[in-house]
Chain A
């Protein structure tokens, strides 16, 4: 069965520091997708990135970057020069399109609460 582990329950940094959120996943499938979502204090879930298992290229989007390493089953998320507005809970998630068994949908990690202090 699939599993997503976000070992960091809470991280607190001072504004402008770089911060990395860890995500480790478990899957028996060779085809799968990984996601990161942001949940600000207002509660909605905001999509950040989707990566399929065949694309190990790292991605950068402004101050955000993602490091996907299949060898260590990790999909880490780094925020460079953090800002107060980055304060939120961040979720890593996994989906396995061909796992069968009837269960479907995203498997989420427990989330990392990121606090950026001014």
Chain B
């Protein structure tokens, strides 16, 4: 157990729908990152939050949004889902703003299937 908890583990939904993925970071970690792993794009960084504030954006679509709550858990909202959004979504957390030095701990991921 990495200490980063993602729910649900699996999600199947239809095109056009909206889903919310949840992540609880490791105890004490202030930063949360979201990544998408798809067959064609590989592992891509989506967005980072630090202590409730958006810190950085990567290749995140406008249909996707995220937030980090006061208890530091984070949610990734995916809307107007398309077949191509089917992927494994990972959350990672790190101990400090300087995550490059301290590294990242990944959760086990949420597998989203859009049908």
Contacts and interface: CB of A to CB of B under 8 A. Distances in A.
Interface in B35-57: 35, 42-46, 48, 55-57
B25 to A, nearest CB: 15
A43 interface: yes
Chain B contact-residue range equals 20 to 34
Chain A contact-residue range equals 20 to 34
Interface of A is mostly: loop
Interface stretch (A59-67, A70-78, A80-88, A95-103): A95-103
Interface stretch (B14-22, B66-74, B75-83, B95-103): B95-103
B7 interface: no
Interface of A: 32-33, 35, 37, 42-47, 50, 52, 91, 93, 95-97, 102-111
10 contacts: A35-B104, A43-B111, A44-B107, A52-B101, A93-B43, A104-B56, A104-B58, A106-B45, A107-B45, A108-B44
Interface of B: 2, 33, 35, 42-46, 48, 55-58, 88, 90, 92, 98-101, 103-109, 111
